[in-house]
Amino acid sequence: MKVLLVDDNAELADNLAELLASERTEVFAHHDATAALAWGRTHDFDTALLDVRMPELSGVELMRLLRVGHPAARFVLMSAYTQDAELDPTQDTVAAVLTKPLDLPSLAKVLGLDA
Amino acid sequence: MAPLLDELFRYVGFDEQDGARLVAASDALEPSFQGIVDEFYVAIDGNREARAVFEDEAQVARQKGLLLAWLRRFFAGPYDDSYLEERSRIGRAHVRIRLPQRYVFVSMNIIRAGLTRAVWALDDPQLDKIALLQSIQRLCDVELAIMLETYREDYDRALRTAERLATLGQFAGTLAHEMRNPLAVLSTSSHLLRRHAGDDPGVVRHVDRIERQVAVCGQIVDDLLALARDSPPRFEPVDLASVIEFAWAQLTKPEHTLDVTVAPDAGSVPADESQLRQVLVNLMENATQAMTEGGAVEVQVARCTLTRPGEEVDAVRIRIEDSGAGFTPEALEHLFEPLFTTKARGIGLGLPLCHRIVTKHHGRLSASNRSPRGARLDIVLPLAQKGMS
């Protein structure tokens, strides 16, 4: 499984990438949304784990742009703010919105990992 | 002299001559004091709402003793700052037991009438009874003004508390959210550290510590967010024995035990379960922290009556007691104000939060000291909530 992970908090992005990576899971971590978007134009992924509050592009906006080229991908949002993600139910289907600090077992479950 | 007292004396026209007149009449009037006290409590006994303020006969007996002492000081002076201090303390005690403000006037009239009769009955041809009565009336006016001042203090405090909580709430929300990102890094890092540590006991011990403290921070963040959210309670029937046990299980307390008694007719009350649990966790945690050497936290649940302006409603009282040092008078006065804390650690948000939650349940949270030592917190919640059958 390929996971695209985007969080402007670089340390958190790297930690999560290290935690989630395994023989079955390849994680591509990015620290800024624009770079992640560029990466998405030329790469494939099954699941995207996106922080909601980022400079330049919010996680929700990034999800909408990424979804165009990846209609089958699953999207998981994460935020330090509870009711943060302003989702439009007509176009935004997300697998989950997780609150930071992340509960690792529930993250693994949402991503379909057994860690 | 305190500006308040000085101003009151000048306004009412109470001067040194008045004071001297009262002191001179003290011995002659002393024999009538007990009669006035008895008369006072006969009048209170005839009033359902006023009576509801008093818990039992023992409390009435104590109050009678206090009123007798009050009358003696009225005629003994000195009418200085210590007088104001003592009278204010009595006023604050009235505020604390929630004696409705209007009773202060009715009560003072009973005293005025009693003293007037006592003065008329004096058999002393030399005595200028009109002048003495005038002095008495003037000091009664001063007394009333002091009492009302304590009610105003209380009102001001409630207002200040609400304003401070609102400001703090906004700040707390931002702070809590900002804390979540670093906490997320800390918790994921400790997770990874554990993975790399293998079974090195030295490293594992420290990873355990980091994770425990991260959890403590997480709890603080949750408290701050609860403060910021201020959501209205969602009422549902709550089983008190189980919510108490559940709250107790959330606490770390190696040296403490829990002793719960729930009266059979007080097993359940309509409440927002998670909010009530938050209140219980806070109060029981304070109780354990007050007993540094360990001991039993006693929780008693029983039916009671909640007196509100113009009505009495059936209610349940959850009483939480410890055998720690109890509260200082200063602490009792400021306990529910945000940022007031007596603990070396702690930010002083727990009790104001509890108070706000209980108030939103249309209930009452009050604190007092136990005899001979220890603190007592009473949560009183009405048995009926609007919008719930």
pLDDT tens per residue across span B243-277: 999 889 888 777 899 999 999 988 899 999 989 99
B67-73: average pLDDT = 91
Q: Which residues contact B69 (CB under 8 A, 6 or more apart)?
A: none
Q: What is the DSSP letter of B257?
A: E
pLDDT tens per residue across span A63-105: 999 999 999 999 999 988 766 556 666 666 788 888 888 888 8
pLDDT given for residue A22 in this prediction: 85
Instruction: State yes or no: pLDDT of B125 exceeds 90.
Output: no
A14-37: average pLDDT = 92
CATH topology of domain A2-111: Rossmann fold (3.40.50)
**In angstroms, rounded to a whole number, what is the distance separating the alpha carbons of residues B202 and A3?**
34
pLDDT band at B389 (very low <50, low <70, confident <90, very high): very low
B134-146: average pLDDT = 92
Domain positions in chain A: 2-111
In chain B the domains, ranked by start, together with CATH numbers, are 3-159 (1.10.490.10), 160-229 (1.10.287), 236-382 (3.30.565.10)
pLDDT given for residue B50 in this prediction: 67
pLDDT tens per residue across span B291-306: 888 899 999 999 998 8
User: What is the count of residue pairs from A and B with beta carbons less than 8 Å apart?
Assistant: 45
Selecting from B177, B183, B184 the residue whose C-beta is nearest the C-beta of A81 gives B177
Given an 8 Å threshold on Cβ–Cβ distance, is A102 in contact with B184?
yes
Tokens of B47: 């009033």
pLDDT tens per residue across span B170-203: 788 888 888 888 999 999 999 999 988 888 888 8
B54-79: average pLDDT = 84
Selecting from B189, B218, B225 the residue whose C-beta is nearest the C-beta of A15 gives B189
Query: What are the residues facing B317 on neighbouring strands?
Result: B302, B380
pLDDT tens per residue across span B337-381: 877 766 655 666 788 889 989 999 999 999 999 988 899 999 999
Given an 8 Å threshold on Cβ–Cβ distance, is B184 in contact with A104?
no
- Report chain A residues whose CB lies below 8 A from the CB of B183: 100-101
Given an 8 Å threshold on Cβ–Cβ distance, is A101 in contact with B191?
no
Name the one residue in this structure whose structure tokens are 């540094």: B292
pLDDT given for residue A70 in this prediction: 94
pLDDT band at B228 (very low <50, low <70, confident <90, very high): confident
Does A12 contact chain B (CB < 8 Å)?
yes
Burial class (CB in 10 A: 0-12, 13-18, 19+), B10: exposed
pLDDT given for residue B362 in this prediction: 92
- Report chain B residues whose CB lies below 8 A from the CB of A108: none
Given an 8 Å threshold on Cβ–Cβ distance, is A101 in contact with B180?
yes
Angle ∠(B259,B260,B264) on CA atoms, nearest 5: 155
* Other C-beta atoms lying within 10 Å of the C-beta of residue B341: 17
CA distance A84 to chain B (A): 11
Instruction: State yes or no: pLDDT of B73 exceeds 50.
Output: yes
Tokens of B359: 């108030």
- Identify the residue with better confidence: B162 or B362: B362
- Identify the residue with better confidence: B282 or B330: B282
Interface predicted TM-score (ipTM): 0.80
